[in-house]
Amino acid sequence: MSHPQTSHAAHDPYEILFQPVPIGPVVAPNRFYQVPHCNGMGHRLPASLAAMRGMKAEGGWGVVCTEEVEIHHSTDLYPYAEGRLWDDRDIPPLRLMVEAVHHHGSLAGIELTHSGHHAPNLYAKVPPLSLRSMGTAHYMPVQTRRMDKSDIRALRRWHRDAALRAKEAGFDIIYCYAAHDLPLAMHFMLKRYNDRTDEYGGTLENRIRLFRELIEETKDAVGDSCAVAVRLAVDELMGEDGLTHQGEGHDIVAMLAELPDLWDVNISGWSNDSATSRFDKEGYQESYISFVKSLTSKPVVGVGRYTSPDSMVSAIRRGVMDLVGAARPSIADPFLPNKVKEGRLEDIRECIGCNICVSGDILASPIRCTQNPAMGEEWRRSWHSEYIAVKKSDAEIMVVGAGPAGMECARALGQRGYSVVLVEEKSELGGRVARESLLPGLSEWRRVIDWRQGQLAKLKNVSVYPGSPMDSDAILESGVKNIIVATGAHYRRDGVGRSRHHSLPGHELAHVFTPDDLMAGRLPTGSVLIFDDDHYYIGGVMAELLVDHGCQVTLATPAPLVSQWATATLEQERIQRKLMGKGVALIMQQELASIEVGYATLAHAVSGEQTRRTFDAVLLITDRLPNDALYQMLRPAVEQQLLASLRVIGDAEAPGIIAQAVFSGHLAAREMDEPIVAGTPFRMEYVEI
């Protein structure tokens, strides 16, 4: 029986993603575009940075860009580790990245920036520059010097010089940057900053004059062989106080429509552009950026944390964008494009939108990823995101506990070829992730489990046994000689944590709860005090859970901000706004002093002044204790040579974030049968003197 012929597009629904796209004088080999993103490595760790970007090119990203790159010492962003192109000595480190990207046939892009009042110049020790005298960002007691015409001419010269250096380094795409409320070029556009009365102030045409000059002069300098891209925020989600996609954001694109070779458009500031999955879902920027293609014939890049190839194809076919921009999805899976091309969609390691990657830049530390433990380790440890060394022995290994650490450890050991038994006492795999992904806003975190469960199912040498509690006797009787313990952790019930080092009076009362109780379905009623001494996401989601359950909630924290550490993931303000909108009473800089029936006493973290408040229940979110009893019971068996090896990983070793648990499991798998390294177990980048 014959079948009607089908088109190639019907045979391969993702063919459109692999079409080449001309960008000025260069051609992107496909539509996968890694937009500029920070990484905590920058100019300080050029070898690490080059290897990380090269991994993405190897994985099929057709364009791979830098982070923001400082063009002059007067835009010194220290302590943040961004790119640097102050003078010719900065060319060789950047060339490392270009060569790593070109080696795999991809284009290399560079985002040049002068950050104006966002650059405090702590290292350079020169006055920051801006279009007017104004305070610098981040509450620093520093103000800028107002730029005169000679300063503007100097800025234009610095930008041109940096573009020429970028060309010498080998970059294919050179950015003029006006997004995230970070660069001077954007500051000049904005009415809230620009009070100038000369030709650079007043009308929108005047306010975009500097940006137009930078684009024109960059094209004049390097446009013969390099594409000139524009990165523009078309909406700041501030209403008339900022750019809007119906107002001046739209008009800027219309006025400059055909000038650059490529438009890379997004929303601003950074916390909006890189919103977490807790607050925004895939494709969330489309309603703001979809107008751009109607105004220009040049290719358009858009972002929106796209992880689904179907969503990518849809965005292109609907005319929203020409190239699918990504930062976080390219971090979670550098090989996402190749997996789409090879039809291995189930192998895509989807971003969970947690922004742990972002925290690397905020904390000036090398990038990491919850889903991809090899991220940032490509040079330091020679880790590849897809490949791993084959096994060194025929050892059989039992991993006890199938949370994020145990699942990743068993998966990576299985990939190496070891015979692995993964046992879990509960009927469901996933440990803390299985519980936490049911909390408000965290459903996409389930991808940590789902991807690993799918990969484990493919490994015939890995046996998975849920609903199988194991004690030390059962393990020893199993005959398996190599044991890895990944039994997780639990919340303390005694109130001991970051702000308190002794048991809390009243912690043993029946109306005192921990997050473990709530995640097990035991919820309080009435008025509830949450004492959040964790300072990340769990306090906020517990508050949402209780409000949705009908409780009247007060959240107290000894920190100056609610969920203070979430500033590192760009979520703090959104968390606080969400809680305020739900009617949660927020009390900062308050420590919990004692609990009584119906009451709780709070003490001000600075003054010590105490207040007594009435509550029906108290939720303690303090430290966690490792569930390491099994590990401790097995340790003598190693000395007695009943076991060949024993290791504890994840929260059972040291409670931390999920990314650390995954990394711990992966590290244990990589180190199985490897010799113990004396000294630092990874390479360091040193400056030779």
In the block, tokens 């039809």 appear at 343
Distances (CA, A) of 571 to 152, 185, 245, 420, 580: 35, 26, 23, 39, 14
- Does residue 257 share a domain with residue 112? yes
Q: Is residue 443 part of a domain?
A: yes
Using DSSP, state whether 553 is helix, strand or coil: strand
What pLDDT shows up at residue 6?
36
- Does residue 454 share a domain with residue 563? no
What pLDDT shows up at residue 8?
41
- Does residue 218 share a domain with residue 155? yes
In the block, tokens 């552009």 appear at 273
Structure tokens at 531: 């004492």
Q: In 10 A of CB 352, how many CB atoms?
A: 29
Q: Judge whether 91 and 168 are in contact, CB under 8 Å.
A: yes
The structural domain count of the chain equals 3
Q: Judge whether 35 and 264 are in contact, CB under 8 Å.
A: yes
Q: Judge whether 109 and 264 are in contact, CB under 8 Å.
A: no
Residue type, 408: E
Structure tokens at 68: 């923001």
* Active site positions, annotated: 38, 177, 180, 273
Q: Is residue 463 part of a domain?
A: yes
State the CATH number of the domain containing residue 588: 3.50.50.60
- Does residue 345 share a domain with residue 474? no
- Does residue 560 share a domain with residue 471? no
- Does residue 499 share a domain with residue 480? no
What pLDDT shows up at residue 678?
85
Q: Is residue 52 part of a domain?
A: yes
- % helix, strand, coil for the chain, step of 5: 35, 20, 45
- Does residue 301 share a domain with residue 244? yes
Q: What is the mean pLDDT of each run of 10 residues along the chain (689 residues)?
A: 39 94 98 97 96 98 98 96 97 98 98 96 95 88 94 98 98 97 96 95 97 98 98 95 95 98 96 95 96 98 97 97 98 98 97 97 96 98 97 97 98 98 97 97 98 98 97 96 98 96 97 98 97 98 98 98 97 97 97 96 96 97 98 97 97 98 98 90 85
What pLDDT shows up at residue 1?
34
Domain boundary (623, 644, 679) is at: 623
- Does residue 302 share a domain with residue 209? yes
In the block, tokens 């004396």 appear at 678
State the CATH number of the domain containing residue 439: 3.40.50.720
Question: At what angle are helices 447-458 and 404-416 packed, to 10 degrees?
Answer: 30
Provide the residue range defining the domain that includes 571: 493-623
Q: Is residue 374 part of a domain?
A: no
Q: Is residue 387 part of a domain?
A: no
